[in-house]
Amino acid sequence: MAKIMKKKVALGMSGGVDSSLSAHLLKEQGYDVTGIYLECWRAPGCRTEEDRKDALAVALQLGIPFQVLDFKQAYKDKVVEYFFTEYQQGRTPNPDVMCNKEIKFGLFYDWAMANGFDYVGTGHYAQTDHQHLLTSKDEHKDQTYFLYRLCAEQLKHTLFPIGHLTKTKVREEAKKRHLSVANKKDSVGICFIGDINVHQFLKDRLGENPGPVVDMQGNIIGVHQGLWFYTVGQRHGFTIFPRTLINQSDGTTIDKHNIPPFYVIKKNPERNELVVGFGRETFQKEFFVNELHLINNEAALESETELFVRIRHTGQLLHCTIEKTNSHLRVIFDEAMRGIAEGQSAVFYVKAPKEFVCLGGGMILGL
DSSP string, 163-180: TTS-HHHHHHHHHHTT-T
Whether residue 146 is contained in a domain is answered as no
Domain with residue 294: its CATH number is 2.40.30.10
pLDDT digits (tens, 9 = 90+) for 278-314: 878 888 999 999 989 999 866 667 666 689 999 988 7
* 354 and 234 part of one domain: no
User: What average pLDDT does this structure show over 174-198?
Assistant: 80
Considering the domain architecture, whether residues 328 and 243 belong to the same structural domain is answered as: no
Q: Give mean pLDDT, residues 320-333.
A: 89
Q: How many CB atoms lie within 10 A of CB 252?
A: 9
Q: Are residues 173 and 63 in the same domain?
A: yes
Q: Which of 40, 191, 320, 358 is catalytic?
A: 191
Confidence at residue 2, expressed as pLDDT on a 0 to 100 scale: 47
Number of compact structural domains in the chain: 3
Residue 128: name the closest of 110, 151, 109, 107 by CA.
151
Same domain, yes or no: 115 and 17? yes
Note whether residue 132 is domain-resident: no
Domain membership of residue 235 (yes or no) is yes
| One domain for residues 107 and 181 | yes
Cβ–Cβ under 8 Å, residues 146 and 105: no
Q: Which residue has the higher pLDDT, 325 or 168?
A: 168
pLDDT at position 70? 95
Dump strand ranges (E) for the chain. 8-12, 32-39, 66-70, 119-121, 126-128, 133-135, 158-159, 211-214, 220-224, 239-240, 245-246, 253-254, 263-268, 273-277, 283-294, 307-310, 318-324, 329-338, 345-351, 356-364
Q: Summarize pLDDT for 201-234 with one digit per residue, the tens.
A: 899 999 999 999 999 889 999 999 999 999 988 8
Q: Are residues 181 and 32 in the same domain?
A: yes
Check whether residue 70 and residue 170 sit in a common domain.
yes
Task: Check which CATH number belongs to the domain holding 83 and give it.
Answer: 3.40.50.620
- The mean predicted confidence, pLDDT, of the chain is 89
Q: Which residues contact 185 (CB under 8 A, 6 or more apart)?
A: none
Tell me what the mean pLDDT of segment 171-199 comes to: 82
Gap between the Cα atoms of 278 and 301, Å rounded: 34
pTM exceeds cut of 0.85: yes
Report the largest interatomic distance among the alpha carbons of the chain, rounded to a whole angstrom. 89
**In contact, 306 and 317? CB cutoff 8 Å:** no
Give the pLDDT band of residue 195 (cuts 50, 70, 90).
Answer: low
Is 204 a member of any domain?
Answer: no
Q: Is the pLDDT of residue 258 over 70?
A: no
Looking at the fold, whether 65 and 167 belong to one and the same domain comes out as yes
User: Are residues 38 and 183 both part of a single domain?
Assistant: yes
pLDDT, position 246: 54
pLDDT at residue 257 greater than cutoff 70: no
pLDDT at 194 over 60: yes
Q: How many CB atoms lie within 10 A of CB 237?
A: 14
Q: If you ran DSSP here, which 8-state letter would residue 316 be given?
A: -
State whether 53 and 92 are in the same domain: yes
* 66 and 183 part of one domain: yes
151, part of any domain: no
Chain segment 144-158, per-residue pLDDT in tens: 999 999 999 999 999
Q: How far is CA 285 from the centre of its chain?
A: 23
Residue range 257-265: mean pLDDT, rounded:
80
Phi-psi region of 91 (alpha: psi -120 to 50; beta: other; left: phi over 0): beta
How many other C-beta atoms can be found within 10 angstroms of the C-beta atom of residue 21? Answer: 27
Annotation marks residue 191 as catalytic: yes
Residue 53 has pLDDT above 70, yes or no: yes
Is pLDDT above 60 for 81?
yes
Task: Report whether 129 contacts 152 (CB < 8 A).
Answer: no
> Final residue of a domain: which of 198, 224, 243?
198
Residue 147 inside a domain? The answer is no
| 274: in domain | no
| Residue 46: active-site member | no
CA distance 317 to 166: 19
pLDDT at residue 255 in the model: 60
- As beta bridge partners, residue 346 has 362
Domain that holds residue 355: 282-364
Please tell me whether residues 26 and 168 are part of one structural domain: yes
How many Å apart are CA 125 and CA 184, to the nearest integer? Answer: 17
